[in-house]
Amino acid sequence: MAKTSTTTQGLRAAIERSGYYPALVAEAVEAAVGGEPIRSYLVHQETTFDANEVRRHVTVLVLTGNRFIVSHTDEQAADSTSPTPYATTSTESVKIGRISSVVLSRVVANPEKYVVGTLPREVVLTIGWGAVARIDLEPAACGDSNCEADHGYTGSSTADDLSLRVSEAGDGPDAVRQTLAFAQSLSEATADVTR
């Protein structure tokens, strides 16, 4: 989808609907996008509970013709570094060719009665581009139950750059649809780069 005033307005409207410091979030995202055409976008707002505090976080994902842009904004309570509450906003720009995986997990109720096109009750979108990896290690062993030798460690490394969970119950059916659409656009963009 080429960048049109409708696409730009849609992104800005989605940021404003999140209700989470829209001017701050929109400025950061628009600065990162620059003049590139927007192909697809997703705005995801989460609320978490931390002891006696409610904290909000918004993630904005934007796909352009050449880049995948991730923006995170978090609010923080007053602390030793600031006498007033504050927000932090970060953006990361990733070339489409660097994206190594786009994983979309779908959770459906009553799979034996599933009808094509039925909206999943939950989706988890995981995107990897090699900036962050999770390493799970455990002691290695051999097949000999009496062996006391040190066999070192074995494990696996998993790309874990971004993971978003969106549910119909918590976020609404439109948020699930938007996540599915964004995941498809991103998958298609990564396939185009490999051709």
Residue 132, pLDDT > 80, answer no
pLDDT one-digit tens code per residue, 166-195: 999 999 999 999 999 999 999 999 987 655
Residue 13 amino acid letter: A
Q: How far is CA 169 from CA 17, 49, 113, 173, 176, in A?
A: 18, 18, 20, 8, 10
Distances from the Cα of 98 to the Cα of 53, 71, 129, 132, 164, angstroms: 37, 17, 5, 13, 19
Give the model's confidence band at 144: pLDDT under 50 very low, under 70 low, under 90 confident, else very high.
Answer: confident
Give the closest residue to 69 by CA, choosing from 46, 47, 87, 42. Answer: 42
pLDDT band at 27 (very low <50, low <70, confident <90, very high): very high
Q: What is the DSSP letter of 147?
A: -
Mean confidence (pLDDT) of the chain: 87
pLDDT digits (tens, 9 = 90+) for 73-107: 998 888 888 899 889 999 999 999 999 999 999 99
More confident position, 49 or 168: 168
